[in-house]
Amino acid sequence: MAAFTVGSGVNGWHPGEKAMHHKMGFDKAPGVSDAWRSIYGELTQQHMKFHTSNLHFLPVVTLDKKGRPWSSILASGTGEIGWIKPKGYTTLQLKPRIWEGDPFWENSGEFEDVEGTEMLIAGIGVEVSTRRRNKLAGKVKSVERNEDGRTVTFDVEVNEATGNCPKYIVLRAVEPHPKTHPTLVHDQTDMSPTDRLPSDVISFIHAADTVWLGSAYHPSSSDAKRFPSHLGINHRGGRAGWVRVKPSDGRTLVLPDYSGNRFMSTLGNIEYTPVASLAIADFKTGDVLYLTGDAENIQGPAAEAIMPMQHSLTTLRVTGYRFIKDALSVRQAPLSSKEEIGVSPYSPPIKYLKEEIEAQGGGGKFFTGNSPKAMLQSVSLHSSTIATFTFKPSVPLQILPGQAVILDWKSLLGGPQYRHMSQDKPSLVNDDLIRTWTVSSYHPPTPESDTVEGTAFQLTMKEKEGGAVTGALFSIARRMKAKDPDLLKDLSRFEIQPGIVGISGDFYLDTEKGEGADYTGPSDPRSDIGSPSLPPRNLVWGAGGIGFTPFITMLRALLSSPSDSVRSRSWDIVFLLSTREPDVLIPLIEEVYRLQSADAPVPSNIQLHLHVFTSKEYIADKTESAGSPLPFDVRVHKGRLDEGWFKEQKEILMGREGYVCGPQEFENLVINSLVNVVGLEKDSVRKEGFAY
């Protein structure tokens, strides 16, 4: 039997795709101009088998009577595989059960038994347990609806089919869940110009890691024969929260564009026909959200003005939505590992909107245009993998204790190169060489006009295994030390100058908190320095590994702040430090006190109680300087921090303000223990994870 081959389903890139290739600079990239030939005009045998034998559900996109796209999620009533049947190379027969509220029910009804009309459709088959993905598009040739059972039987004549890579797909096991009770919670298919999305809908969007993005292409009359109308739908995924909603209008979604195959099929459709749709499902609860609206692709500085450090994005201003509870007949099942889902290693860290960052307060700032520079001045190696790097900024910077600086390292490492896949190191695919570190030096507030150049700032960082930036920096430092250790004291001659993207972070210590409404002392607290009349501040800090750096800055701020209000109250701090390197990190805390005592006496109103949790042997008596005990107490606990410790220390920890920084597992342990065991209010515990 002769091998079956298929031809291309398209006649080249349509005008919208060409426009996006040009905007993104892909029109000059080798292979892109002819890549459309890999879009088949029929289903291959492999794709036919995949769609009919592997899928519990199929996201599709169809048009409503106004011509707006709506993404839907189709599945059988039982959630079993097998509801899609083959009908030759070009045709699939689908028999889903449509729950109340899914737009497919109305959209398919528009074309039932209507002669001379064509119903366009596109689908994206994703086997989420393996990350396999295949797209199709075509026309619905027949529709039979069962009103009582809400089933629709229809044939799809496929004229476009292509395979896609597994990037950004969240790995999850799914299983049938036939016992559903669909409940239509929100039904607003035509929003007024001033309407906003409900808060529960926005929270649902911000919790999502996966969306199904639908698009449409409607050509001009002159292009219609060569590039006929068609629909498209594709998977978009990332870390939970990667899709943001603008707080300013409460209805515009922002989707950052991650590196893909450079086809620009979806974005090309949007570029030419600026509408789009989203379907978002919660695989745990079965809740499904449907959105449709006006879409726009935004690149370059205009994109970065919306979402800092994001060069390309798409916005969707929602014009209609529906939200249904307990609808999906497929639910998430545990994976073979302890995790319920597997986030794609290709998914980059979450980026927030500029207006979200500004709403956090704290004086965060992003630079646009020609960003200022930070000259690397010196390096102090504390161990082979932990060091403090000192930089001199070209402009004054306002940095609150605990905030972070964002640096662009392209000047040192060169611009990122396009990679479609990178199995050995997936993070390279979207690596923009922009990094964020907590500033470990303290910077008292000063007017920006005080100096032409800014005060030097320090970053205490740990070398990340395989890290493109920290690997390069530590390699330079080690080579300099091997050649001549004195070189590390003055590196300015080498002109290593990353760009300063901005200052960020709402994780900072507000040292003046409580001076206003909470203050119950004299009318002028500054008139009685050292008076205990200001209310005390009792804190608990939790640091996992190098997550201790913001607390070093906070401690410096308390010890050396010129603020009378800081000196006029008592500070009692329980500091939990979980580390494999106590011999490196504890001396850094010592150094904060040692440098302070060299300039002035250590303030007596600050009490620090350090609890170190480590698997390493470490003798607490070592924490003495020149034979004199340091003005803080240290207890070393052998082993890991656990919930039991919080139970033992409950009375001491009650009523404190919490600050937590560290890996996700550590962060969850500390926050859950402080809230559930100690009884702190959740909003009294602030966190700063390692998302970046």
- Which pLDDT band, with edges at 50, 70 and 90, does 453 fall under? low
Half-sphere exposure (CA, 13 Å, Cβ side) for 210?
A: 24
Sign of CA dihedral 445, 451, 454, 456: negative
Contact 584, 462 (CB under 8 A): no
Does residue 469 surpass a pLDDT of 60? yes
pLDDT of residue 32: 75
pLDDT of residue 523: 34
- The beta strand positions in 417-491, using DSSP E, are 434-438, 457-462
Q: Which helix (H) or strand (E) holds 249?
A: none
Give the predicted TM-score (pTM) of the model.
0.77
Rounded to 5 degrees, φ, ψ at 667 are -60, -45
Query: How far is residue 305's CA from residue 637's CA, in Å, rounded to a whole number?
Result: 47
**Burial class of 621 by CB neighbour count within 10 A (0 to 12, 13 to 18, 19+):** exposed
In tens, the pLDDT along 633-659 reads 999 999 999 999 999 999 999 999 999
pLDDT of residue 692: 42
pLDDT of residue 516: 40
Does residue 625 surpass a pLDDT of 60? no
pLDDT of residue 116: 60
Contact 60, 71 (CB under 8 A): yes
Query: How far is residue 224's CA from residue 222's CA, in Å, rounded to a whole number?
Result: 6
Rounded to 5 degrees, φ, ψ at 342 are -125, 105
Query: Which strands sit side by side in the sheet containing 330-333, from one edge to the other?
Result: 330-333, 171-176, 341-342
The SS3 of residue 496 is coil
Does residue 8 surpass a pLDDT of 70? no
Which tokens sit at 243? 């899709």
Does residue 420 surpass a pLDDT of 50? no
Query: How far is residue 88's CA from residue 198's CA, in Å, rounded to a whole number?
Result: 45
pLDDT of residue 1: 32
SS3 per-residue string spanning 171-221: EEEEEECCCCCCEEEEEECCCCCCCCCCHHHHHHHHCCCEEEEEEEECCCC
The CATH class of the 15-354 domain is mainly beta
In tens, the pLDDT along 598-619 reads 667 778 899 999 999 998 876 6
Query: How far is residue 367's CA from residue 417's CA, in Å, rounded to a whole number?
Result: 24
Which tokens sit at 659? 């600050």
| Residues making up the chain, counted from first to last | 692
Rounded to 5 degrees, φ, ψ at 356 are -65, -45
Helices vs. strands in the chain: H and E counts, helices first: 15, 33
CA distances from 32 to 36, 233, 506, 578 (A): 8, 20, 42, 50
Please state the rounded mean pLDDT for residues 674-679. 96
CA distances from 210 to 69, 168, 255, 343 (A): 18, 9, 11, 10
Query: Which strands sit side by side in the sheet containing 657-661, from one edge to the other?
Result: 633-638, 606-614, 571-578, 537-544, 657-661, 685-688
Please state the rounded mean pLDDT for residues 106-132. 84
**Separation of first and last alpha carbons in the chain:** 55
Which are the contacts of 232, defined by CB distance < 8 A and separation ≥ 6? Answer: 61, 122, 135, 137, 214, 215, 216, 217, 265, 266, 269
pLDDT of residue 422: 46
Query: At residue 351, what is the residue type?
Result: K
CA distances from 353 to 162, 307, 312, 415 (A): 33, 4, 13, 24
Does residue 111 surpass a pLDDT of 80? no
In tens, the pLDDT along 530-576 reads 444 689 999 999 999 989 999 999 999 999 888 888 988 999 999 99
Query: How far is residue 254's CA from residue 171's CA, in Å, rounded to a whole number?
Result: 23
Q: Which DSSP string corresponds to 132-170?
A: EEEEEEEEEEEEEEETTTTEEEEEEEEEEEEEE--TTPP
- Which stretch of 8-22, 51-65, 147-161 has the lowest confidence by average pLDDT? 8-22
**Of 3.90.650.10, 3.30.420.40, 3.40.50.80, 3.30.70.100, which CATH number belongs to 529-688?**
3.40.50.80
pLDDT of residue 363: 61
Which tokens sit at 486? 């004195």
pLDDT of residue 275: 98
Sequence ranges of the domains in the chain: 15-354, 363-504, 529-688
The CATH T-level fold of domain 363-504 is: Elongation Factor Tu (Ef-tu); domain 3 (2.40.30)
Cα 174 from chain centroid? Answer: 24
Torsion angle of the four alpha carbons 478, 556, 624, 437, in this order, in degrees rounded to the nearest 10: -30
Does residue 52 surpass a pLDDT of 50? yes
In tens, the pLDDT along 259-269 reads 766 778 899 99
pLDDT of residue 102: 97
Does residue 171 surpass a pLDDT of 70? yes
Does residue 505 surpass a pLDDT of 80? no
CA distances from 364 to 462, 508, 563 (A): 24, 11, 21
- Which stretch of 51-65, 101-115, 512-526, 641-655 has the lowest confidence by average pLDDT? 512-526
Which are the contacts of 605, defined by CB distance < 8 A and separation ≥ 6? Answer: 530, 567, 568, 569, 570, 571
Does residue 339 surpass a pLDDT of 60? no
Query: How far is residue 426's CA from residue 574's CA, in Å, rounded to a whole number?
Result: 39
- Which stretch of 106-120, 151-165, 499-513, 522-536 has the lowest confidence by average pLDDT? 522-536
Closest to 631 measured CA to CA, from 650, 662, 604, 658 = 604
pLDDT of residue 550: 93
SS3 per-residue string spanning 539-556: EEEEEEHHHHHHHHHHHH
Query: How far is residue 89's CA from residue 48's CA, in Å, rounded to a whole number?
Result: 8
Give the orientation angle of helix 582-599 with respect to helix 549-560, to 10 degrees.
Answer: 20
Query: How far is residue 296's CA from residue 210's CA, in Å, rounded to a whole number?
Result: 20
pLDDT of residue 410: 86
Query: How far is residue 671's CA from residue 648's CA, in Å, rounded to a whole number?
Result: 16
DSSP letter at 97? B
Average pLDDT, the chain: 86
Q: Which DSSP string corresponds to 47-84?
A: HHHHHHHS-SEEEEEEE-TTS-EEEEEEE-SS--S--E
Query: How far is residue 622's CA from residue 612's CA, in Å, rounded to a whole number?
Result: 13
pLDDT of residue 343: 80
Q: Which DSSP string corresponds to 391-437?
A: EEESS-----TT-EEEEE-HHHH-PPPP-S--SS-GGGGG--SEEEE
Q: Which helix (H) or strand (E) holds 21?
A: helix 15-24
Which are the contacts of 31, defined by CB distance < 8 A and separation ≥ 6? Answer: none
The SS3 of residue 485 is helix
Contact 320, 192 (CB under 8 A): no
In tens, the pLDDT along 363-382 reads 667 787 678 999 999 999 99
Give the orientation angle of helix 265-272 with respect to helix 15-24, to 10 degrees.
Answer: 110
Query: How far is residue 36's CA from residue 41's CA, in Å, rounded to a whole number?
Result: 11
pLDDT of residue 337: 56
Does residue 669 surpass a pLDDT of 80? yes
In tens, the pLDDT along 423-441 reads 554 544 456 788 889 999 9
pLDDT of residue 285: 97
- Which pLDDT band, with edges at 50, 70 and 90, does 529 fall under? very low
